[in-house]
Every structure is written in structure tokens, then in C-alpha cells.
Structure 1
Amino acid sequence: MARKPFVVTAAALLGVVLLLPVAAQTQYKSTMPDGRVVYGDRPAQGAAKVEEIQSDTSKGGLGGPATPSEKQVLKELEKERLQRESAQEKVRAAEQKLKDAQAARDNGKEPLPGERIGTAGGASRLNDAYFERQRMLEEAVWKAQRELDEARSGR
């Protein structure tokens, strides 16, 4: 007994699904007496003129299968899209590299142990290792900026 409602429901659902495409294939263009045009799946009441319009609901698509030239165009578009995405990824990577280099430069301003030399007057000064490290950090920022500029220009 428990199966009968399921079978009836399934059969009713199948019938509705099969009838939907048939109902959707015929449309009506109803021209009203005042000149308005109404489209629908049934003729509008009081229409002065009713035209039946048949819709093509075939599964072949609008133009059918793609021609070889259309396939070639699609391949070229896909290739161009992949090139753009690759270029965008290079720009993102170069931007991140520049941010990292700038952060390293900013964090590297404080002298490290061993980069200060005491003077006779009790003061201290920075030694050559500090300035060499600063030069290298600046150079890394400069290179990262140049790579970003090249990535943005597409070279």
C-alpha cells in the first residue's frame, strides 16, 4: 500500500514534465482593439487579432554544431584568456614581491647587533655592514619595482 502513492506521484510528475515542453512551444500574439500587443501561452480575451507563434525548442542550440572556423575562434579566445590570466598572476606576484621588499627595508632600518661602533667620546656610530645591508634592501625594492613595471607593461 505504501508504494501506490509513490507510483501515482511519480506518474503525475512525469506527465507534468512531459507536457511542459508541449505547452511552451506555442505562444500567442494578441493585438488588442486599442493597439496594445500582448504575448502569452493563451490568447488574450477581447483581442482584435490573435496570431499563433511556434517556438523552436529543439536541443540543437541556436546555430547547431560549431563550424571549424568557429572552433578556431573559440580556441584563440581561450588562448587569449589564458594569456591575460597569466599576465595578471605575474602582476599580482610582482606586487607581493614589492610589498615584501618594502616591508623588509622598513623593518631593517634598526641596526643589528654588531653594526654599531663605539667612539672615543662614548657615543656610537654605524659601521659599513649597516650601510651595506641598507643598500641591499634598497636594491631589492628597486628590483621588485622594476619587475612590477615590466609585468604591468607585458614584457
Structure 2
Amino acid sequence: MRVIVCVLLSLQLGLAFAQGGKVYKITNPDGSVSYTDQPPVGKGTGARELPVAPATSGIQVIDPGKAQEVNARVKASNEAKEKRDIEEQRARARLREAEKAREEGVEPLEGERTGIVGKKGARTRLNEDYDERQRKLEEDLEKARKAAE
């Protein structure tokens, strides 16, 4: 366990030293380019020191105007999402109501049966009013399903 901790600490220590080092770009007489952390030997080589990139913490400070703009966009996005959620809930509620109305509408209402007198006696059958009401219930149910999707 100690060995692992020592190895990890030495690696991290090495990385810390490597971050602060200077880098030199050397252009050789044949045009090839090489990079090194050792200062070049001799003044005849086309070597130059590269600037060290500034260390950043990853946190960027933004001006208040930009912050307000971002906050406004986030607020608008949240309001739009809440509005969509409410509409979706209403559509699902309408779908449940349409399904319930369709189930309850199966039973014929008064006036939706027509009496028939035949050789076998008096019977009844469902008339066009019942069929029309069933079609309307089906249409309402389909509209509610499409709205809920």
C-alpha cells in the first residue's frame, strides 16, 4: 500500500514540475522542427523560447449583462418546459375523459332503440342516433389520443 502511495505522489510531483517548465522550439538547418525542454546549445541554431500557456482554473468570470442574458434564456426555457408539461397533463386528462365517455357510451340511451314487430314478436334494434353518437365518441377519443402523443 505504501509503495502505491509513494508512486502516485512521485508521479503527481513530476507533473507539477513539468507544468512550469520552459519549452524551446528549434528549427534545424534542414527545415525540420523539434521541441525540447533543454535550452539549445550554440547560438547558430534557430531556437526560440515558446511562451508558457497561462494556467486557468476552468472558471470564467462573465460580465453582468451576459449573466442577465443567460439567466433570461434559462428562465424562458424553464417556462416553456413547464408550459409543455402542463399541456401534456391536460391532454392526458382529456384522453382519460374520452376513454371513460366511450366506455360509458356503449349503453344505448332512451330513444336510440327502434321497436320492430315481426312474426316472432316485438323486438328492438339500435338506430342511427346510437350509431352517430358512437362515431362521435370514437372521433373524440382519436383526437384525444393524437393530442396526448
Please, what TM-score do these two structures have when normalized by structure 2? Answer: 0.51
Asked if 2 retains the 8 angstrom alpha-carbon contact of 1:117 and 1:126, the reply is yes
| Residue 85 (structure 2) pairs with residue 89 (structure 1) | yes
Unmatched 5+ residue regions in structure 1? 1-5, 149-155
Q: How far 1:78 sits from its partner (Å)?
A: 1.7
**Match for residue 66 of structure 1?**
62
Q: How far 1:54 sits from its partner (Å)?
A: 0.2
| Residue 6 (structure 2) pairs with residue 11 (structure 1) | yes
For 1:25 and 1:95, the matched residues in 2 are separated by 61
| Residue 72 (structure 2) pairs with residue 80 (structure 1) | no
- Count the aligned residue pairs: 132
Amino acid at match of 2:126: R
Identity of aligned residues (%): 14
Q: How far 1:7 sits from its partner (Å)?
A: 3.0
CA RMSD of aligned residues (A): 4.7
| Residue 15 (structure 2) pairs with residue 20 (structure 1) | yes
For 1:17 and 1:70, the matched residues in 2 are separated by 37
Q: Secondary structure at the match of 1:56?
A: coil
Asked if 1 retains the 8 angstrom alpha-carbon contact of 2:102 and 2:137, the reply is no
Please, what TM-score do these two structures have when normalized by structure 1? Answer: 0.50
Q: Secondary structure at the match of 2:57?
A: coil
In 2 relative to 1, CA 111–94 (structure 1 residues): closer, same or farther, beyond 3 Å? Answer: closer
Q: Secondary structure at the match of 1:124?
A: strand
Amino acid at match of 2:73: L
Query: What stretches of structure 1 move > 6 A for 4+ residues in a row?
Result: none
